């Protein structure tokens, strides 16, 4: 009888010890909570049917897929506000550019997305001294018709900012060095707007600011005119003519 009680007591002690062991060693510690990193989607600048995205702190003026409206003055990354990039400071004694000393061209390539294309238009100075140009370009686009005659195509300009591109740069005097170039950016649509179609313009006729209607500089371009307003930058130095 005593032996039987001892055996029962030992068995109880063993069970209690086993349970205690499970409480201290057999239960796994709660797993540390892990959160997957959030990766932001890439910014493409503008998407079909949306307002162009402006990544600047100052935001973007205007709305609509056609382009930004209003005035943009936010500085692009790298700092254009309060600084003078190469070619932007007017040297002492510099004069306004003369149409006879300038030429106009569109360099190859462009930045295309969602039916919108951004291109650069260069204005080169062939004089022996620097000259100054400023403001927004005033221009017309022409397209050839049957019989070889050029027909002017209606263009509606809009001004505003688009990402880090030069569209939102402030208006300022831009010096074109002798043998160098300046220019502006232009964004156009390749998609017909409204009930109209698209026409391929092959010439751009630029009227120099403050020089009157007779001061024209004409050059070859490849720009689609589809009835949608075009976003146009002010004249900017050559280092701000990047399209992407």
What string of H, E and C letters represents the secondary structure of 74-139?
Answer: CCCCCCCCCCCCCCCCCCCCCEECCHHHEEEECCCCCEEECCEEEEEEEEEECCCCCEEECCCCEE
d(CA 197, CA 191): 8
Please report which confidence band the pLDDT of residue 142 belongs to, taking 50, 70 and 90 as the band edges.
very high
More confident residue, 134 or 148: 134
d(CA 237, CA 116): 23
Q: Where are the beta strands (DSSP E) in 195-237?
A: 199-207, 216-225, 230-232, 236-237
pTM: 0.64
pLDDT, position 69:
36
Nearest to 215 by CA among 203, 223, 206: 206
HSE on the CB side for 36, CA within 13 Å?
3
| Per-residue pLDDT reduced to its tens digit, 22-67 | 444 444 444 444 433 333 333 223 333 333 333 223 333 333 333 3
Write down the H helix ranges in the chain: 2-21
Task: Write down the domain spans for the chain.
Answer: 95-240
Checking DSSP bridges between strand 181-189 and strand 116-125, what pairing results, if any? antiparallel
pLDDT, position 212:
62
- Pick from 29-38, 127-136, 207-216 the range whose average pLDDT is largest: 127-136
Tell me yes or no: is domain 95-240 CATH 2.30.110.
no
Give mean pLDDT, residues 87-113.
Answer: 82
| Per-residue pLDDT reduced to its tens digit, 165-205 | 999 999 999 999 999 999 999 999 999 887 778 999 999 99
Please report which confidence band the pLDDT of residue 73 belongs to, taking 50, 70 and 90 as the band edges.
very low
pLDDT, position 22:
42
């Amino acid at each position: 009888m005593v032996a039987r009680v001892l055996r029962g007591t030992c068995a109880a002690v063993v069970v209690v010890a086993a349970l205690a062991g499970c409480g201290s060693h057999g239960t796994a510690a709660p797993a540390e909570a892990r959160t997957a990193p959030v990766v932001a989607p890439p910014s493409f600048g503008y998407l079909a049917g949306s307002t162009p995205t402006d990544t600047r702190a100052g935001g973007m003026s205007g709305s609509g897929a056609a382009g930004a409206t209003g005035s943009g003055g936010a500085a692009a990354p790298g700092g254009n506000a309060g600084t003078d990039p190469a070619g932007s400071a007017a040297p002492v004694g510099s004069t306004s550019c003369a149409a006879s000393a300038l030429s106009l061209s569109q360099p190859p390539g462009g930045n295309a997305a969602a039916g919108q294309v951004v291109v650069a238009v260069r204005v080169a100075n062939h004089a022996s001294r620097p000259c100054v140009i400023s403001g927004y370009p005033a221009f017309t686009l022409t397209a050839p018709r049957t019989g070889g005659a050029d027909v002017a195509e209606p263009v509606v300009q809009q001004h505003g900012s688009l990402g880090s591109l030069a569209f939102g740069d402030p208006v300022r005097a831009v010096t074109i060095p002798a043998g160098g170039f300046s220019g502006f950016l232009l964004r156009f649509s390749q998609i017909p707007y409204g009930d109209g179609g698209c026409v391929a313009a092959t010439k751009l006729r630029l009227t120099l600011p403050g020089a009157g209607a007779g001061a024209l500089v004409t050059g070859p371009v490849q720009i689609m005119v589809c009835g949608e307003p075009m976003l146009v930058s002010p004249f900017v130095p050559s280092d701000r003519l990047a399209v992407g």
